[in-house]
Amino acid sequence: MAALNDSTASVSELKSRVLAFARARDWEQFHSPKNLSMALAAEAAELMEHFLWTTPEQSSVTARDPARRARIAEELADIVIYALEFANATDLDVAAAVEAKIEANAKKYPVEKARGRADKYTEL
């Protein structure tokens, strides 16, 4: 099988892969938006567990530590897989949603006001 990578894989190809996996196991019955949102949050927490007690700076080192990197990549993959399953279950277009959200964020966080600041837009 040709290996996927970010430069060539479309979002639809990834969505098809996770859908085929779930269908082959008759798992769509479990994939309600409620359940998938829980699974997504649970996987996000597992990614976070790698960085609980480090400083933000140290976390960049942790993420490149060969002993952990493979596991961190797996946690990220789990998150993306559930996000794609959620999109499959609800017929949402991920790329369109991302583009729309970036445009909305650009209005909430204009460059000149937001540059170098981590404040919420309501506090800029």
Q: Which of residues 46-65 bind its own copies (CB under 8 A)?
A: 46-60, 62-64
Q: Name residues contacting its own copies, limited to 66-105 (CB under 8 A).
A: 72-74, 76-81, 83-84, 86-87, 89-90, 92-102, 104-105
Q: Cα(4)–Cα(15) distance, rounded to whole angstroms?
A: 13
Nearest-approach distance from CB 83 to its own copies, in angstroms:
5
How many chain residues bind its own copies (CB under 8 A)? 88
In the three-class reduction of DSSP (H, G, I as helix; E, B as strand; rest coil), residue 83 is classed as helix
Q: Does 122 bind its own copies (CB under 8 A)?
A: no
Q: Quick check: 89 and 31 in contact, CB under 8 A?
A: yes
Say which residue the tokens 């909430």 belong to. Answer: 108
**5, 66, 107, 122: residue in contact with its own copies (rule CB under 8 A):** 5
d(CA 81, CA 47): 14
Taking the C-alpha atoms of residue 36 and residue 49, their distance in angstroms, rounded to an integer, is 20
Q: Does 124 bind its own copies (CB under 8 A)?
A: no
